[in-house]
Amino acid sequence: MPAHWVIFSYFAWGHLRPVSNLAVTLARKFPDVTISCIVDADFVSQSLGEMKRNVSLGHDEWALDRIRLIPLGRTLAAFTPEFAALYPTLDPRLAPITPPADVQTLHAAFHAMMEERPFEDATGKTWEPITKPNFIISDMMLGNVCPALKKKYDLPLYIWYGGSATSLTRALGATEKGGRAPSYVEECHAIEGSPEKRMGRSFSDIAIDVWARSSSFQDDIIHVKGLPPFYQWEDFPQKTWYPAAYDWVAAGHPMFELSDGILLPTVADIELEGLAGVMDWYGGTVLCVGPQLPAEYFNHYSAESSSQLASTEVQYDLPGVNKMASGKAQVDPCIAFLDDALDRYGAHSVIYISFGSVFFPNERHIQILFERMLGIDDPMAFIFTTAAPNAFLSEEFTKKIEESKRGLIVPWAPQQAILAHLAIGAIISHCGGGGTFESLSHGVPVIGWPFFADQPTHALWMSEVLDTGFELVQVRDGPFKGKAYRGGINGTEITGRDEAVAKEMEEVLSALRGEEGKRKRVNAQKVKQLIRDAHRPGGQIQQHLDALDRYVNATNEPAS
């Protein structure tokens, strides 16, 4: 029977991109379902571009006919340069992920859907009523939005969590299972309420300190099923702090407790232990729907297909207006560079370097990296994308890279097409959820340089569990200067000195080109194959989507 599902998305590209593809996945799978996808009004064109790209590559444009892309809210409307400068120091309780005005807007639209009456979106367009919604899917960041709707209408609520199962347990799982919630919020408030413990600190400082080192873990060692042990400060390896992290836990944990299920971008065969760890603390259903990529990315590489894939990728910048790369007038410069490197140096000869659209490392550390790469006798080419607003490299060093003919610096790169190219040997990444599963889906080894949130867990998982990559630990300059648990019986001391950073980079780059790198590439290819197998007709992903359909239908059957 006809059904109406509502998806609440989050504007950041690492969230919006997979959720846009998830909407297409669901529209393809369930022909009787109409999907209302709620998207930040300033980023609806990117979401639509990603959906169109997916269906055009799959030659099934009809799937878009049942997706209502509804622009509502503007999360970044108040994020002026002045506010951005103050943001890291704000009391996190005053910096909710979804602004209160947007919460009201989203609620009003959903109430109208449930009451089967028209409503206007952010552009002034009127949306006529259709069948009442019978299912909600929420991005993990919408903890201030969806719980109230779940409680009012008693609809099934599933959460899209865009990272690995192990990172979910660490972020929002029970404390006794190695999770941060709910003890994190409780400890922050307990310290604030005790002058003796507070010691004059602001709530912002308390939130940062407890994130780095909580009293809930007396020996400082975190044990998460599916991961090797690690010190809790390893979760905060860089100085980067976002007050929204507090709200992510404070509002996100209650939403997970209230929810009926979780959708993950992983596949069961690569995270058996991690998934078991989630089920140890989560009472709902856990479904693995796989990395949300167009099916074309699971086909075999050719120079023509790589160029085509690059031409369709959607550009995303903060905070400007973005558009799809046309790719019609000429070959994308990244693809041209890779084609040339493939001819000159052979397969797996290029490193792609990307820290996403938000993060960027210590300038001195990134310069050391390039010095080491340019100093290698055996030429190692690289592509470096500077999409983050704070990305910076001196004019002198930029010129040095350009003159070397080994490196290409671009403000934006078609990442998925790059990862599919035969010339790529590895990616240096911050290990966000999107990039992590894109890399694994293409069988590309990762050199992890994580900053915050789920990134350190992903770097640890890939380097130590899947054995598909490395992690740079000497680049850490976070608020708590502690050693790394790995690296021998006494761990690894983080000195912070340039010599240590340079030495580790040399060792990792050498290992990448040696037997260890070959082993990790073989393992990455094995993971890629497991992901492909899960995507096959009748495979694990189809089985989990079938389970989702059965669940939604069962919960919406009228009482006898």
Q: Print the SS3 string covering 533-551.
A: HHHCCCCHHHHHHHHHHHH
Per residue, what are the HEC states of 426-477? EEEECCCHHHHHHHHHCCCCEEECCCCCCHHHHHHHHHHHCCCEEECCCCCC
Question: Is residue 117 left, alpha or beta, with left meaning phi > 0 and alpha meaning psi from -120 to 50?
Answer: beta
Q: Which domains does the chain carry?
A: 300-533 (3.40.50.2000)
Q: What is the pLDDT of residue 264?
A: 99
CA 440 to chain centre: 13
Q: What is the pLDDT of residue 328?
A: 41
pLDDT in tens, the chain (560 residues): 689 999 999 999 999 999 999 999 999 999 999 999 999 999 999 999 999 999 987 778 899 999 999 999 999 998 888 888 899 999 999 999 999 999 999 999 999 999 999 999 999 999 999 999 999 999 999 999 999 999 999 999 999 999 999 999 999 999 999 999 889 999 999 999 999 999 999 999 999 999 999 999 989 999 999 999 999 999 999 998 999 999 999 999 999 999 999 999 999 999 999 999 999 999 999 999 999 998 777 765 555 567 777 878 888 765 543 333 333 445 799 999 999 999 999 999 999 999 988 888 988 999 999 999 998 888 789 999 988 877 878 888 899 999 999 999 999 899 999 999 999 999 999 999 999 999 999 999 999 999 999 999 999 999 999 999 999 999 999 988 899 999 877 899 999 899 999 999 999 999 999 999 999 999 999 999 999 999 999 999 999 999 999 998 887 765 44
Six-digit token pair at 374?
Answer: 């340019």
Q: What is the DSSP string of 20-57?
A: HHHHHHHHHH-TTEEEEEEE-GGGHHHHHHHHHHHHHH
Which of 164, 101, 102, 157 lies closest to 134, judged by CA?
157
Q: What is the pLDDT of residue 302?
A: 56
Six-digit token pair at 98?
Answer: 């979804």
Q: What is the pLDDT of residue 82?
A: 86
In Å, what is the CA distance from 195 to each residue of 190, 198, 209, 473, 548? 10, 5, 16, 36, 49
Cβ within 8 Å of residue 471, ≥6 positions away: 447, 448, 449, 450, 459, 460, 462, 463, 464
Contact 24, 67 (CB under 8 A): yes
Q: How many CB atoms lie within 10 A of CB 526?
A: 15
Six-digit token pair at 41?
Answer: 């009004």
Q: What is the pLDDT of residue 489?
A: 77
Cβ within 8 Å of residue 47, ≥6 positions away: 9, 16, 19, 20, 37, 39, 69
